[in-house]
Amino acid sequence: MSGCCCAPNCRSNNANGPRARVYRFPVDPAQNAAWTKAVRWENFTPTKYTVVREHHFLESDFVDSASYTDSMTGKLSRQETSARESPEEKRARLDAEALQEAVRLPEQSHEADEKKNVIATFEDLFTAVGDLSLTDFWTKLVTQKQVLLLNFSDQGAPVVHRAVTVATDLYLAVYVDEMRLQNLGFSVLSTTISDLRVLHKVLCDAEDVTKDSTNNELQLEILLKRVVALLEQLSS
């Protein structure tokens, strides 16, 4: 049977025997003769397909490099050879490579996502805002000096009730009617933005605050602001 060890009483790679790594007889006549003698079969002549199981060799019989002398230069050259992998070693190597790939891909995806959301200049914002996902609550208006996200009243003449603006210096402002907000709920508003996701969160928070009919604190603050403004007008 092809691949079966030729040593006496060895059943390696037979139908019911253990699987093992095998080696063919060397081409060199002296080495071939030494192998043939070591097998201890009478009238035994190996063919090019005859093999011997690795366990019949000593560890010292194996070398990790080959060397030869160049006949032209007389220099000794050494070429490293890699040992043949066992199935277990190959499986472990492939598993390790797959794990490294699984770790590398999310890192690359994260880096690409971070780069995509970076806002360093107004030009970056001007470009990125085109792909900004908005609900029907907001109307987008982009000029050369400002990006405005506006919410209009739906009764009579359009009046801006809510506004989120970003100037050329990336200065961020949020308004409810004529009153500028310093915070939304428990979150303090950023004065500038450097990440598109920050702008998206501000829009979501401003919309949620507006739709929350129980937000009496905000409504009271707006009312007091209007009263103060009216008193200032009357006193002037």
24 closest CA partner among 44, 39, 5, 37: 5
Banded model confidence at residue 185, pLDDT cuts 50, 70, 90:
low
Tokens 């402002």 correspond to what residue? 173
Mean pLDDT of 78-94: 67
Q: Which tokens belong to 121?
A: 């200049």
Mean per-residue pLDDT for 94-119? 74
pTM, entire model: 0.46
Higher pLDDT, 27 or 226: 27
pLDDT average, residue stretch 27-48 = 84
CA dihedral 114, 117, 119, 122 (to 10 degrees): 150
208 vs 104: which has the higher pLDDT:
208
What gap in Å lies between CA 25 and CA 38, rounded to an integer?
A: 12
pLDDT of residue 80: 53
Where is mean pLDDT largest: 19-28, 138-147, 183-192? 138-147
Confidence bin at 225 (pLDDT 50/70/90) = low
158/219: higher pLDDT: 158
Greater pLDDT, 107 or 225? 107
Beta strand pairing call for 139-142 and 146-152: antiparallel
pLDDT score recorded for residue 214? 46
pLDDT for 21: 80
Q: 11 pLDDT exceeds 80?
A: no
Among 36-50, 86-100, 177-191, the range with the most confident prediction by mean pLDDT is 36-50
Q: Given a cut of 80, is residue 127 above it in pLDDT?
A: yes
- Return mean pLDDT, the chain: 77
Specify the pLDDT at position 171. Answer: 93
Nearest CA among 148, 149, 147, 150 for reference residue 121: 147
pLDDT value for 67: 60
Task: Kindly tell me if the per-residue pLDDT of 178 is higher than 80.
Answer: no
Question: What percent of the chain stands above pLDDT 70?
Answer: 71
- Tokens (6 digits) for 55: 């366990």
If we measure between CA atoms, which residue out of 221, 133, 142, 235 comes closest to residue 177?
221
